[in-house]
Amino acid sequence: MTSAADVEVLAPLVGLAIHCRPAAATTTFENRDVDGRRLQRCLSVARTLRPRDVPAPWRETARAVLLGPVLGEVDPVLAGAFPCARVAVAAQGYLRQRLADGAVVGRHWWPSRRWLARLAAVVLSAEDVAHAPELLARLSASPLLIVTRGAAGAELTCGGATVAIRACPAREIDPTGAGDVFAAALLIALCEGREPAGAVRFAASAASWAVEAPGVAGIATRRQVEERMGECETSTR
């Protein structure tokens, strides 16, 4: 489900049931690489998705829900709108904001512990909290907190223990969307009954495939993901 003005952007998602709420604009970013740093400007933002926007059958039957705003366009209240689902959050879109000139900068997001505790997992990158690393302590109130670190792998915090997962080797071509693939694969693995570290390895493998081709061309088959999982090692600290 999404909110957009231009439904053509959804054309590559062949075979998926998509519910698009019409909006005056589609969230659009301009990315520039300056001295190895990615600078972003937001050119437009779509309308915010709220519980009333979700088709009733989806609210009643969904078993897995990933909230993944790009720039806060998903109302956090949606986490409680699916009584039968495990809900995970790809938090990047809650951790950044748009300034008057369109520049995208970090945001000090401070969700309630009660809201965090009802989630299955929170996923974000180390870059997302570089402006305010103290937010990690707050977000660890969720049952599972996963911090991705690109080619350096990911860290899973669960029950006070931190597990490091090594990234799978990949030939990076386009990293855009890898974090979303990671979060979606993680939620799928958790819903299938994998233990947390195994779910993170599954997600890391899926994300490694995603960076090897532009757009959705990098989405791997389950067989590919399973075969590469063995290259993602685990260590506890």
pLDDT digit string (tens) for 151-165? 899 999 998 899 999
Residues near 71 by beta carbon (within 8 Å), at least 6 away in sequence: 27, 42, 45, 93, 96, 97, 98, 104
Domain spanning 67-236: CATH superfamily: Ribokinase (3.40.1190.20)
**Where is average pLDDT lowest: 128-137, 183-192, 225-234?**
225-234
Round the average pLDDT of the chain to a whole number and report it: 90
Instruction: Decide which of 169 and 63 is more confident.
Output: 63
**Which band of pLDDT confidence, cut at 50, 70 and 90, is reported for residue 121?**
very high
The reported pLDDT for the residue numbered 236 is 47
The reported pLDDT for the residue numbered 176 is 82
The reported pLDDT for the residue numbered 35 is 78
Instruction: Decide which of 9 and 92 is more confident.
Output: 92
Q: What is the pLDDT of residues 18-49, one digit of tens each?
A: 888 999 999 999 988 887 777 899 999 999 99
Burial class (CB in 10 A: 0-12, 13-18, 19+), 232: buried
Residues near 57 by beta carbon (within 8 Å), at least 6 away in sequence: none
Domain map (residue ranges) of the chain: 67-236
**Where is average pLDDT lowest: 5-19, 72-86, 130-144, 166-180?**
5-19
54-59: Cβ within 8 A, 24+ apart: 54/1, 54/19, 54/78, 54/81, 55/19, 58/1, 58/19, 58/82, 59/83
**Joined tokens for residue 60:** 């009643």
**Looking at residues 53-60, what average pLDDT do you find?**
94
**Looking at residues 122-151, what average pLDDT do you find?**
95
The reported pLDDT for the residue numbered 12 is 66
Which residue from 82, 87, 75 is spatially nearest to 116, judged by alpha carbons? Answer: 87
User: CA 136 to CA 138: how far, in whole Å?
Assistant: 5
**Joined tokens for residue 206:** 């899926």
Contact assessment for residue 118 and residue 108, using Cβ atoms and an 8 Å cutoff: no
Instruction: Decide which of 234 and 71 is more confident.
Output: 71
pTM of the predicted structure, to 2 decimals:
0.90
**Which band of pLDDT confidence, cut at 50, 70 and 90, is reported for residue 11?**
low
The one-letter amino acid at 230: G
Q: What is the pLDDT of residues 221-230, one digit of tens each?
A: 999 999 898 7
The reported pLDDT for the residue numbered 14 is 67
Q: In what order do the strands lie in the sheet with 154-158?
A: 64-67, 86-90, 121-125, 145-148, 154-158, 161-165, 234-236
The reported pLDDT for the residue numbered 169 is 83
- For tokens 């740093």, the residue is 37
**Looking at residues 110-122, what average pLDDT do you find?**
96
